[in-house]
Amino acid sequence: MTPLLQVSQLRSGYAGSTVLDGVDLTLEPGSILGLLGRNGVGKSTLIMTLMGLVPTTSGTVLLDGVMLPARPHKIARAGVALVPQGRRVWAPLTVGEHLKLATRHAHPGTWTADSVLDLLPRLRERLRQPAGSLSGGEQQMLAIARALVTNPRLVLLDEPSDGLAPAIIESIMDVIRQMQTEGAAVLLVEQDLHLAFEVSDEIAVLDRGIIVHRTDTESFRGDPDTAHRLLGVA
Protein backbone atom coordinates (compact mmCIF):
# COMPACT_ATOMS: atom_id res chain seq x y z
CA MET A 1 0.00 0.00 0.00
CA THR A 2 1.31 3.51 -0.78
CA PRO A 3 1.64 5.41 2.48
CA LEU A 4 -0.57 8.47 2.71
CA LEU A 5 2.37 10.49 3.99
CA GLN A 6 5.98 9.76 3.15
CA VAL A 7 8.58 12.09 4.61
CA SER A 8 12.17 11.45 3.52
CA GLN A 9 15.30 13.08 4.89
CA LEU A 10 13.43 16.25 5.81
CA ARG A 11 15.58 19.12 7.03
CA SER A 12 14.37 22.50 8.27
CA GLY A 13 14.93 25.08 10.98
CA TYR A 14 15.17 28.79 11.68
CA ALA A 15 17.69 31.42 10.58
CA GLY A 16 20.77 29.25 10.42
CA SER A 17 19.80 26.77 13.15
CA THR A 18 18.88 23.29 11.95
CA VAL A 19 16.04 21.70 13.95
CA LEU A 20 14.98 18.78 11.75
CA ASP A 21 18.06 16.99 10.47
CA GLY A 22 16.85 14.17 8.26
CA VAL A 23 13.37 13.10 9.41
CA ASP A 24 12.04 9.92 7.81
CA LEU A 25 8.40 9.17 8.54
CA THR A 26 5.51 7.34 6.94
CA LEU A 27 1.85 7.34 7.82
CA GLU A 28 -0.72 4.90 6.47
CA PRO A 29 -4.15 6.11 5.36
CA GLY A 30 -6.60 6.25 8.27
CA SER A 31 -3.95 5.66 10.95
CA ILE A 32 -3.06 7.74 14.00
CA LEU A 33 0.60 8.32 14.84
CA GLY A 34 1.49 9.92 18.17
CA LEU A 35 4.67 11.99 17.87
CA LEU A 36 6.46 12.38 21.19
CA GLY A 37 9.73 13.97 22.27
CA ARG A 38 11.27 16.11 24.96
CA ASN A 39 10.52 19.85 25.09
CA GLY A 40 12.09 21.79 22.26
CA VAL A 41 13.18 18.82 20.10
CA GLY A 42 11.24 20.13 17.11
CA LYS A 43 7.82 18.43 17.16
CA SER A 44 6.00 21.68 16.33
CA THR A 45 8.68 22.50 13.77
CA LEU A 46 7.91 19.21 12.02
CA ILE A 47 4.18 19.98 11.97
CA MET A 48 4.84 23.53 10.74
CA THR A 49 7.25 22.30 8.08
CA LEU A 50 4.73 19.75 6.79
CA MET A 51 2.16 22.57 6.55
CA GLY A 52 4.60 24.82 4.67
CA LEU A 53 4.81 27.37 7.49
CA VAL A 54 8.51 26.70 8.12
CA PRO A 55 10.48 26.35 4.88
CA THR A 56 12.09 23.03 4.02
CA THR A 57 15.87 23.12 3.62
CA SER A 58 16.02 19.72 1.91
CA GLY A 59 14.18 16.43 1.70
CA THR A 60 10.82 15.41 0.28
CA VAL A 61 7.24 15.11 1.51
CA LEU A 62 4.85 13.00 -0.54
CA LEU A 63 1.10 12.84 0.01
CA ASP A 64 -0.37 9.76 -1.65
CA GLY A 65 2.81 9.50 -3.72
CA VAL A 66 2.63 13.11 -4.95
CA MET A 67 5.08 15.80 -3.87
CA LEU A 68 3.42 18.31 -1.55
CA PRO A 69 3.49 21.88 -2.84
CA ALA A 70 5.52 24.43 -0.86
CA ARG A 71 2.84 26.99 0.01
CA PRO A 72 0.47 26.47 2.97
CA HIS A 73 -2.76 27.20 1.07
CA LYS A 74 -1.77 24.71 -1.64
CA ILE A 75 -0.91 22.12 1.00
CA ALA A 76 -4.36 22.68 2.53
CA ARG A 77 -5.91 22.24 -0.90
CA ALA A 78 -4.04 18.95 -1.28
CA GLY A 79 -5.96 17.66 1.77
CA VAL A 80 -3.82 18.51 4.80
CA ALA A 81 -5.39 20.37 7.73
CA LEU A 82 -3.58 21.91 10.69
CA VAL A 83 -4.87 22.29 14.24
CA PRO A 84 -2.08 24.50 15.55
CA GLN A 85 -0.67 24.74 19.03
CA GLY A 86 -2.46 27.53 20.86
CA ARG A 87 -5.59 27.10 18.61
CA ARG A 88 -5.01 30.35 16.64
CA VAL A 89 -8.68 31.17 16.19
CA TRP A 90 -9.58 34.71 15.10
CA ALA A 91 -10.99 36.40 18.19
CA PRO A 92 -13.49 38.78 16.48
CA LEU A 93 -14.96 36.17 14.11
CA THR A 94 -17.91 34.10 15.27
CA VAL A 95 -17.95 30.31 15.36
CA GLY A 96 -20.25 30.32 12.32
CA GLU A 97 -17.92 32.65 10.41
CA HIS A 98 -14.93 30.40 11.12
CA LEU A 99 -16.79 27.40 9.72
CA LYS A 100 -18.08 29.32 6.71
CA LEU A 101 -14.56 30.47 5.80
CA ALA A 102 -13.15 26.98 6.23
CA THR A 103 -15.84 25.30 4.09
CA ARG A 104 -14.97 27.59 1.16
CA HIS A 105 -11.93 25.38 0.54
CA ALA A 106 -13.53 22.09 1.56
CA HIS A 107 -13.05 18.85 -0.32
CA PRO A 108 -16.16 16.78 -0.92
CA GLY A 109 -16.60 14.28 1.90
CA THR A 110 -18.61 13.24 4.89
CA TRP A 111 -17.92 16.31 7.02
CA THR A 112 -20.14 19.36 6.63
CA ALA A 113 -20.59 22.30 8.98
CA ASP A 114 -23.77 20.55 10.14
CA SER A 115 -22.21 17.16 10.84
CA VAL A 116 -19.26 18.77 12.63
CA LEU A 117 -21.69 20.75 14.78
CA ASP A 118 -23.58 17.52 15.54
CA LEU A 119 -20.31 16.09 16.80
CA LEU A 120 -19.51 19.25 18.80
CA PRO A 121 -22.89 20.52 20.08
CA ARG A 122 -21.29 23.13 22.36
CA LEU A 123 -20.15 24.93 19.24
CA ARG A 124 -23.66 24.88 17.78
CA GLU A 125 -24.90 26.65 20.92
CA ARG A 126 -22.22 29.30 20.38
CA LEU A 127 -22.57 29.74 16.63
CA ARG A 128 -23.02 33.50 16.85
CA GLN A 129 -20.42 34.11 19.53
CA PRO A 130 -17.03 35.62 18.68
CA ALA A 131 -14.24 33.05 19.10
CA GLY A 132 -12.50 35.36 21.56
CA SER A 133 -15.38 34.92 24.03
CA LEU A 134 -15.14 31.10 24.06
CA SER A 135 -13.41 29.07 26.76
CA GLY A 136 -10.04 27.45 25.96
CA GLY A 137 -11.73 24.08 25.43
CA GLU A 138 -14.34 25.57 23.10
CA GLN A 139 -11.62 27.35 21.13
CA GLN A 140 -9.79 24.05 20.75
CA MET A 141 -13.00 22.42 19.52
CA LEU A 142 -13.41 25.28 17.05
CA ALA A 143 -9.84 24.83 15.78
CA ILE A 144 -10.61 21.13 15.30
CA ALA A 145 -13.99 21.84 13.66
CA ARG A 146 -12.37 24.31 11.26
CA ALA A 147 -9.94 21.57 10.18
CA LEU A 148 -12.58 18.84 9.92
CA VAL A 149 -15.02 20.71 7.65
CA THR A 150 -12.34 20.73 4.93
CA ASN A 151 -12.57 16.90 4.83
CA PRO A 152 -8.81 16.46 5.15
CA ARG A 153 -6.96 13.27 4.30
CA LEU A 154 -4.35 14.17 6.89
CA VAL A 155 -4.84 16.14 10.09
CA LEU A 156 -1.82 17.63 11.87
CA LEU A 157 -2.72 18.13 15.52
CA ASP A 158 -0.27 20.06 17.69
CA GLU A 159 -0.81 19.56 21.42
CA PRO A 160 -4.62 19.65 21.43
CA SER A 161 -4.76 18.99 25.20
CA ASP A 162 -2.61 22.01 26.06
CA GLY A 163 -4.03 23.72 29.15
CA LEU A 164 -7.38 21.94 29.04
CA ALA A 165 -9.36 20.19 31.78
CA PRO A 166 -9.58 16.36 31.81
CA ALA A 167 -13.24 16.30 30.74
CA ILE A 168 -12.45 18.37 27.63
CA ILE A 169 -9.46 16.16 26.86
CA GLU A 170 -11.82 13.15 26.88
CA SER A 171 -14.03 14.89 24.29
CA ILE A 172 -10.97 15.66 22.18
CA MET A 173 -10.05 11.97 22.23
CA ASP A 174 -13.55 11.11 20.98
CA VAL A 175 -13.24 13.61 18.15
CA ILE A 176 -9.82 12.28 17.12
CA ARG A 177 -11.22 8.75 17.02
CA GLN A 178 -14.13 10.03 14.93
CA MET A 179 -11.68 11.60 12.44
CA GLN A 180 -10.11 8.18 12.03
CA THR A 181 -13.49 6.47 11.65
CA GLU A 182 -14.25 8.84 8.78
CA GLY A 183 -10.97 7.88 7.09
CA ALA A 184 -8.53 10.67 7.97
CA ALA A 185 -4.98 9.95 9.09
CA VAL A 186 -3.75 11.93 12.09
CA LEU A 187 -0.28 13.04 13.12
CA LEU A 188 -0.66 13.92 16.78
CA VAL A 189 1.96 15.86 18.73
CA GLU A 190 1.10 15.52 22.41
CA GLN A 191 2.73 15.97 25.81
CA ASP A 192 -0.20 14.25 27.52
CA LEU A 193 0.88 10.61 27.29
CA HIS A 194 -2.54 9.36 28.36
CA LEU A 195 -4.18 11.08 25.40
CA ALA A 196 -1.43 9.99 22.99
CA PHE A 197 -1.59 6.37 24.16
CA GLU A 198 -5.40 6.22 24.14
CA VAL A 199 -5.83 7.29 20.52
CA SER A 200 -2.59 6.45 18.67
CA ASP A 201 -2.03 3.24 16.71
CA GLU A 202 1.71 3.87 16.81
CA ILE A 203 4.18 6.08 18.63
CA ALA A 204 7.21 7.80 17.10
CA VAL A 205 9.83 9.70 19.07
CA LEU A 206 11.74 12.70 17.74
CA ASP A 207 15.17 13.49 19.16
CA ARG A 208 18.25 15.32 17.88
CA GLY A 209 16.45 16.19 14.66
CA ILE A 210 15.49 12.67 13.61
CA ILE A 211 12.93 9.98 14.43
CA VAL A 212 14.84 7.76 16.86
CA HIS A 213 12.14 5.25 17.78
CA ARG A 214 8.87 3.95 16.36
CA THR A 215 6.66 1.17 17.56
CA ASP A 216 3.03 0.23 18.08
CA THR A 217 1.45 1.96 21.05
CA GLU A 218 1.01 -1.17 23.17
CA SER A 219 4.72 -2.02 22.90
CA PHE A 220 5.71 1.53 23.81
CA ARG A 221 3.34 1.50 26.77
CA GLY A 222 4.79 -1.78 27.96
CA ASP A 223 8.39 -0.52 27.82
CA PRO A 224 8.77 2.20 30.48
CA ASP A 225 12.59 2.01 30.33
CA THR A 226 12.56 3.16 26.71
CA ALA A 227 9.98 5.86 27.48
CA HIS A 228 12.17 7.05 30.34
CA ARG A 229 15.32 7.07 28.22
CA LEU A 230 13.71 8.90 25.30
CA LEU A 231 11.30 11.20 27.07
CA GLY A 232 12.58 11.46 30.61
CA VAL A 233 9.31 10.15 32.04
CA ALA A 234 8.50 7.01 34.00
CB of 22 to ligand ATP, least distance (A): 15
| 164, 140 Cβ separation under 8 angstroms | yes
* Alpha carbons 160 and 139: distance in angstroms, whole number: 10
CB of 13 to ligand ATP, least distance (A): 7
Determine which residue in the list 5, 43, 63, 231 makes contact with ligand ATP, applying CB under 6 A. 43
Single out the segment in contact with ligand ATP by CB under 6 A; choices: 39-47, 74-82, 140-148, 171-179: 39-47
Determine which residue in the list 4, 12, 27, 37 makes contact with ligand ATP, applying CB under 6 A. 37
Q: Which amino acid is at 186?
A: V
Build a one-symbol-per-residue string for 6-35: x at contacts with ligand ATP by CB under 6 A, - elsewhere. Answer: --------x----x----------------
Q: Which amino acid is at 145?
A: A
* Alpha carbons 139 and 78: distance in angstroms, whole number: 25
Complete DSSP assignment for 50-68: HTTSS-EEEEEEEETTEEP
CB closer to ligand ATP out of 14 and 224: 14
Is 65 buried (19+), middle (13-18) or exposed (0-12) by CB count in 10 A? exposed
Determine which residue in the list 4, 7, 23, 44 makes contact with ligand ATP, applying CB under 6 A. 44
With a CB cutoff of 8 Å and minimum separation 6, the contacts of 182 are 109, 110, 111
Verify binding: residue 137, ligand ATP, rule CB under 6 A. Answer: no
CB of 42 to ligand ATP, least distance (A): 4
Q: Interface with ligand ATP by CB under 6 A: which residues? A: 14, 19, 37, 39-45
